[in-house]
Amino acid sequence: MTVFTEHMAESLMVLGLALLAIEVLVLGFATFVLFFVGLAALATGLMMYMGILSQDMFSALASVAIFSALLALILWKPLKNLQSKGKPKQVQSDLIGYQFELPEALQPGKSMEYRYSGITWQVHSQQPIEAGQTVQVVKVAVGRLDVSPVQDPS
């Protein structure tokens, strides 16, 4: 403990860098708590090293707490927006374009089951399709095939 108190500024900077590394490398920036505390510890250590803050335990704890709260208030919204930039992407599958005959009639808003490749799929269509008609898969989702009728080339 004496090493920590004798070298408090350096210890806080190392602790801050370690927390930042854990947040980014291990947790993948999934939570922001360690990020804010790590930045606050790093800033407090730098301020103590430059002589702006006194090197005592109370100053260290108070400064880290205040900086963490301020950083959370300032950076929460931009970091949250940065996290949710991903747009849902259309599934790319080699099932798109697959053709088969419908065993029963299919109406819009209804579904039917179709077993293919060991999976029971829910088949949906935007238009009425008669039983026995050849259809083509146009969209794939988890457990769901959206189909449209295949037009005869004649």
Per-residue model confidence as pLDDT tens digits over 27-63: 887 788 899 999 999 999 999 999 898 888 898 999 9
Is residue 112 one of the residues assigned to a domain? yes
Measured distance CA(59)–CA(21) in Å, rounded: 24
Is residue 131 one of the residues assigned to a domain? yes
Burial of 96 (0-12, 13-18, 19+ CB in 10 A): middle
Same-domain pairing of 17 and 77: yes
Count of domains observed in the chain: 2
Same-domain pairing of 67 and 17: yes
pLDDT tens-digit profile of 69-89?
999 999 888 888 877 766 666
Residue carrying structure tokens 């374009």: 97
Same-domain pairing of 73 and 11: yes
Instruction: List the one residue out of 75, 86, 89, 88 whose CA is nearest residue 23.
Output: 75
* Residue-range definition of the domain harbouring residue 124: 99-149
Say what the pLDDT of residue 16 is: 92
pTM surpassing 0.75? no
In one-letter notation, the amino acid at residue 34 is L
Is residue 65 one of the residues assigned to a domain? yes
**Domain CATH for 122:** 2.40.50.140
Same-domain pairing of 69 and 130: no
Which strand ranges, in their side-by-side order, compose the sheet holding 119-125?
Answer: 99-101, 134-141, 144-149, 119-125, 111-116
Measured distance CA(93)–CA(91) in Å, rounded: 6
